[in-house]
Structure 1
Amino acid sequence: MLKQILLPALVALTLTATSFAAAPAPERDQRRFEIRSLQMMIDHHFAAVKMSELCDGRTVHAELQQICDDIETSQMEEIVMMQSWLQSWYGITHQPKLDRKSQRQVQYLSTLTGERFEKAYMALMIEHHSMAVRMALEILNEAYHPEMLNMAAMTLAKQGDEIAQMRLWLQQWYGINDLDHHDRR
């Protein structure tokens, strides 16, 4: 469903991106925005990778293990891509790091296994992906480079689908409908 909604946006974005080929260099505010956004998204993806690495040996459902593996692989690839953009566009090197909240979440997840791990992981990842969706929307509104615009559109589609899937699993497997009253630390 989300893909059906976003497909016209992706087509429009692709058409818009081709018009950037002859555009002037990004303005100073756009440069600052892109640098800050890329650094934040690199760190954000790194947190998702670290949480997803913990799935090995802790999940009950093979389907969840598969989504963990997908998140780990795709977000590491995107980190490398965004690092290359920072370097080639702005001459900046950025190594990913975990903020305090992400450190606490990874530490908490590392203490859990089985059903408790699955429930906590999915609740935390839904929250985490929701933040990435908000960041992607901001990128769509503010970024200069078409590569960033395309990445943001793909983030909306992929992470939106993963949010929907994990919410469905929480509901089907554990009867959890209200994430506000579930322990996410």
Structure 2
Amino acid sequence: MRVSLPTAVRRRRALATAGTVAALALALTACGSSDDTKSNGSSMPGMNHGSGSASAPAAGGGAFNDADVKFAQEMIPHHQQAIEMAKLADGRAADAEIKKLATAIEQAQDPEINTMKGWLKSWGKPLPEAPMGDMPGMDHGSDGAGMPGMMSDKDMGDLKAAKGKDFDKKFAQLMIAHHQGAVTMAEDEQKKGDNAEAKKLAEAVVTAQTAEIEQMNKILGRL
């Protein structure tokens, strides 16, 4: 014999059943969304599988133009030559301030080279590959068609051959010209570039290298 339950009890049981079904449906939906995200994440634009980043490298990210590319492609070998010059101070320089400055140039410009290489890779642009001596605008006193301030082979040879106070003077004189070229290139990037990170680095180059130019002029004044 089936006992008829009161209407109120039947309603409470129906509501409880509906709530359980709804909760189960929500749980299944959440799991499905999570699985979809995991399975589709690697195919989303900008995702680098195994890179640890969900998008292109932050450095150099965003809009860029031809001036930004030119700045990076030319400033890399420009910095590389400055580092080469700075390394010559070891065993040749006599002045303590010149030695300290040479170390500072290496420590500052090497990370900047890596940063700019990262930009070019993220932009899909080639890294500069030509040997420094074969690149346009390499000669000291360039008319600006290539890279201003770059040392010629003769300049580098003279610096390598110098020692002591003679080295200190040549280093300061050549590095001043080299820095002036870098400042010119950086100011051009500030005017014509579009990428925020590139323009920020250009500003840092202008600030740091202008200060070093002033420092080297003072050193020359006392040598």
TM-score, normalisation: structure 1: 0.74
Confirm or deny that 1:165 pairs with 2:207.
no
Between Structure 1 and Structure 2, the one with more helix by share is: 1
Unaligned runs of 5+ in 2: 1-60, 140-150
Q: Any residues of structure 2 matched to 1:1-185 within 5 Å, and which?
A: 25-26=63-64, 30=65, 32-95=66-129, 97-99=131-133, 101=139, 102=151, 103-173=153-223
Alpha-carbon distance between aligned partners in 2 of 1:160 and 1:97, rounded to the nearest angstrom: 27
Alpha-carbon RMSD across the aligned residues, in angstroms, is 1.8
> How far does the alpha carbon of each residue in 1:96-117 deviate from its partner, in whole angstroms, 9 at most, with x for none?
7423533332222110000111
| Offset of residue 33 of structure 1 | 2.0
May I ask how many residue pairs the two structures share in their alignment? Answer: 147
Alpha-carbon distance between aligned partners in 1 of 2:213 and 2:175, rounded to the nearest angstrom: 8
Matched letter for residue 160 of structure 2 = S
Give the secondary structure class of the aligned counterpart of 1:94. coil
Structure 1 runs of 4+ aligned residues shifted over 4 Å read none
Q: Percent identity?
A: 31
Report which of the two structures shows the higher radius of gyration computed on alpha carbons: 2
| Offset of residue 91 of structure 1 | 4.0
Give the secondary structure class of the aligned counterpart of 2:132. coil
Matched letter for residue 74 of structure 2 = M
> How far does the alpha carbon of each residue in 1:147-168 deviate from its partner, in whole angstroms, 9 at most, with x for none?
1111011011100010000000
Higher relative contact order (CA 8 A, sep 6+): 1
| Offset of residue 92 of structure 1 | 2.4
Distance 1:79 1:97, change over 3 A: farther
Distance 1:132 1:96, change over 3 A: farther
Matched letter for residue 167 of structure 2 = F
Q: Conserved in 1, the CA contact under 8 Å of 2:186 and 2:203?
A: yes
Alpha-carbon distance between aligned partners in 1 of 2:177 and 2:77, rounded to the nearest angstrom: 15
